[in-house]
Amino acid sequence: MEHMKKRGQISIEIMYSVGVLLVIFILTSSLAFNRKLDIERAGDTVSKRSDCAMISNAINRVVTLGEGHKSTFKTVYNFDVYDIGLIIVGDEPGTSPGELEVICTYNGKLNQSNYTDGQGIWQVSVSNYTEIVMDQLSI
């Protein structure tokens, strides 16, 4: 009889130990998952910032060089270019709204009020020596 009580005691201790280890594993996994999400968001922000700078540089380049010069860029993100000198690079198409958008600026004057929902391959040029023209190229 004494032998059976010791077996039961050992079994309960093993279950308790496994339960504690399981709780520790779950907590560690959740921390690692949160870190992974933070790293992915940071990488996404850096990529959007890079595309925003690329668009801004393309516009500024043709404004500086003048009429007859063209600059081409390609982006996977939706972007908006506003006539107040503002560029907003947002989400990839098909992703959930509410993701972080990146904002940058450019110098010059657009030939129309705004370019919105841009994506793909674009060519930037200057017409009439002052107006920036953005044309989406076929892929």
Domain span at residue 64 reads 2-137
**Interval 79-99: pLDDT, tens:** 888 888 888 888 765 555 567
The 3 state secondary structure assigned to the chain is CHHHHHHHHHHHHHHHHHHHHHHHHHHHHHHHHHHHHHHHHHHHHHHHHHHHHHHHHHHHHHHHHCCCCEEEEEEEEEEEEECCCEEEECCCCCCCCCCCCEEEECCCEECCCEEEEEEEEEEEEEECCCEEEEEEECC
What confidence category does residue 29 fall into, taking pLDDT thresholds of 50, 70 and 90? Answer: very high
Give the residue with greater pLDDT, 127 vs 16.
16
Q: For the chain, what is the domain count?
A: 1
**pLDDT value, residue 108:** 78
- In DSSP terms, 71 is beta-bridged to 124
**pLDDT value, residue 96:** 59
Question: Average pLDDT in the 111-125 region?
Answer: 73
**Interval 47-70: pLDDT, tens:** 999 999 998 998 888 888 877 888
**pTM, rounded to two decimals:** 0.69
